[in-house]
Amino acid sequence: MKTGVAIIGSGNIGTDLMIKIKRISDQLEVLALVGIEEASEGLARARRLGVATTHEGVAGLLALPEFERVQVVFDATSAGAHRHNYAALRAQNKIMVDLTPAAIGPYVVPAVNLDAVGDVDNINMVTCGGQATVPIVAAISRVATVAYAEIVASISSKSAGPGTRANIDEFTETTAAALEQVGGAERAKAIIVLNPAEPPMVMRDTVFCLATGAGGGPVNRDAVREEVTRMVADVHTYVPGYILKQTVQFEEIVEDYVPALGRAFAGTKISVFLEVSGAGHYLPEYAGNLDIMTSAAIRAAERLVSRTLGVNA
């Protein structure tokens, strides 16, 4: 028997999440889609698919008869709205999977730290940039000491909806924090670029790391390549459009002052270039930034269900 889930947010991410679960998940069943606009295209699509809907937000969800069967609630709204939604749901014994940058619960990147997360009722899926780049920094951290990580996430402006645009500050702060807390970097910085190019470009992510190997010397390049390649393959299992664009690049730095560190650095600069295209379940292929969020959220929910609720994976 599948585990019932509800989705708060009837925009692009929520709608893609609904359709993706119906198409690819053999463990989850979408029972309800929640919005705040009665004429929402997402709510109309949900009704056509036989999914219960409400345009009265989280209060409407609590009033739905289907809510009793819901075990997992995905939140695809905004950071501010998630804080309100969690306050309303925290006493309902549901697991919340937060796709906003609110960061109330622990950061989760399925390929990196999902198994290490304890029994919690709220997990945070970081950001699209975090889901794409934290795995790479974590891979490098396994075989080197990452003093500084800087990532640039470039997405099509057409795939950046109102929620993304309203949360730009939270995006950069949350991504940088996850690069440190989950990725293992001592210091980190995140940058997002909304690219207006036509035709729209797929998501591209660049990861720069300043790292040292044993004894503070150059890193083991072969070990870094192996770990990065392995990590890309792991993410690819649940995000098929996640690929390494070229071989990992290395540059030795004799000694240079790094403002972000506030000190001089000597070691190895590592550059990794990624591309993320969408699966096309609902959104266009160029919307890889949204696809990686919904795909990661489903993977996380399935694992949490199998562990916390005792449902076989």
pLDDT digits (tens, 9 = 90+) for 43-53: 999 999 999 99
pLDDT above 70 (res 192): yes
The active-site residue, picked from 8, 70, 123, 128, is 128
Joined tokens for residue 251: 């540059």
Regarding predicted confidence, which is higher, 164 or 148? 148
Domain 3-125+292-308 belongs in CATH node 3.30.40.10: no
Query: What would the pLDDT profile of 131-152 be if each residue is shown by its tens digit?
Result: 999 999 999 999 999 999 999 9
Let me know if 128 is a catalytic residue.
Answer: yes
Share the mean pLDDT of the chain: 94
| Spatial distance between the Cα atoms of 105 and 83, rounded to a whole number of angstroms | 11
DSSP conformation letters of 143-198: TSEEEEEEEEEEEEGGG--HHHHHTHHHHHHHHHHHHHHTT--SEEEEEEEEE--S
- Give the rounded percent of residues in the chain with a pLDDT score beyond 90: 86
- Please report which residue ranges of 209-287 form alpha helices under DSSP H: 221-236
Q: Which residue has the tokens 């796709």?
A: 99
Provide Rg for the chain, Cα atoms. Answer: 20
Max Cα-Cα span within the chain: 65
Joined tokens for residue 12: 């692009």
CATH fold of 128-286 reads Dihydrodipicolinate Reductase; domain 2 (3.30.360)
pLDDT above 80 (res 312): no
pLDDT above 90 (res 217): no
Which segments are annotated as binding site for NAD(+)?
10-13, 159-167, 289
104-108, 141-145, 158-162, 282-286: range with lowest mean pLDDT: 158-162
| Spatial distance between the Cα atoms of 123 and 125, rounded to a whole number of angstroms | 7
Domain with CATH 3.40.50.720 in the chain: 3-125+292-308
